[in-house]
Amino acid sequence: MRLLLFDIDGTLVSVERTASRAMLRRVVEEIFSIVLPPDFEFQLGGKTDYQIMTEVAQALSLPTTIVEEQREKIQVTLTAHTEPLSNPETMRLLEGVRVLVETLAAREDVALALLTGNLETTAYLKLRPHGLDGHFPIGAFGSDHIDRAMLPPIALHRANKHYNHFTNSGKKFSPENTLIIGDTLNDIHCAKANGIKTLAVATGTVSMETLRSAGAEYVVENFADVRAITDIATNF
């Protein structure tokens, strides 16, 4: 059995940019009790939510310790502001995703899980409008660690506990039989830091050429060719 670790934003779902940036602005202003400059730009790109908050604090010359101090408030506030956006119009499913996920979920030779910078609560809110949340019973999330590169071992540990019909046979998930699927350079760097192969998809903001140059073992334009993606996911 092979473990497939899926990113969410830009990989499975495209979050409407204006709504997501407005939501982040409201969250930051509420957490830090400030008013952001009108031209403030968020730098996202595969980062964990707590990393994003830390970088915002740095950009605003605020002590980064505020992020850890406000950790619980950040989670509650992000969840509260994400929930109203949890609809098919704002959380748009990307091409081929539904068929791909349902095809893979029906197979017995792969196991699905998430690996995302989102908090666990917001991750499932983004998948719920399309009914895909139930296909990803476990994962590793931005609420588990600020550093994305630290998430794969967490995902492996949880997968080995959850998919016990596999581990009870004396086998286990490891970097060798795991594939990280994402759309950013951080997905690739995270995979490489843990000796895991990457399937990179150019549905985010990074081109196929750049993803390939960064060292992704497999690069595709999108998930439209479900048969080809399934072949990669079951034979890497």
Whole-number CA gyration radius for the chain: 17
DSSP-derived pairing of the beta strands 139-140 and 110-115:
parallel
Looking at domain 2-15+89-235, which CATH architecture does it have? 3-Layer(aba) Sandwich (3.40)
Say how far apart CA 166 and CA 184 lie, in whole Å: 30
Burial 111-129 (b: 16+ CB within 10 A, else e): bbbbbbbbbbbbbbbbbeb
Say how far apart CA 42 and CA 141 lie, in whole Å: 20
pLDDT, tens digit, 9 for 90 and up, residues 99-127: 999 999 999 999 999 999 999 999 999 99
Does the structure show a pLDDT above 90 at 175?
yes
Angle of helix 185-193 relative to helix 151-162, nearest 10 degrees? 70
| Confidence band, pLDDT 50/70/90 cuts, at residue 18 | confident
Question: pTM (2 decimals)?
Answer: 0.94
What is the average pLDDT value for the chain, to the nearest integer? 93
Q: How far is CA 170 from CA 72, 155, 158, 163, 166, in A?
A: 38, 19, 16, 12, 8
* Cβ pair 159, 118 in contact under 8 A: no
Say how far apart CA 198 and CA 183 lie, in whole Å: 10
- pLDDT greater at residue 191 or residue 17: 191
| Confidence band, pLDDT 50/70/90 cuts, at residue 167 | confident
| Confidence band, pLDDT 50/70/90 cuts, at residue 1 | very high
pLDDT, tens digit, 9 for 90 and up, residues 39-87: 888 877 789 999 999 998 998 899 999 888 988 999 999 999 999 999 9
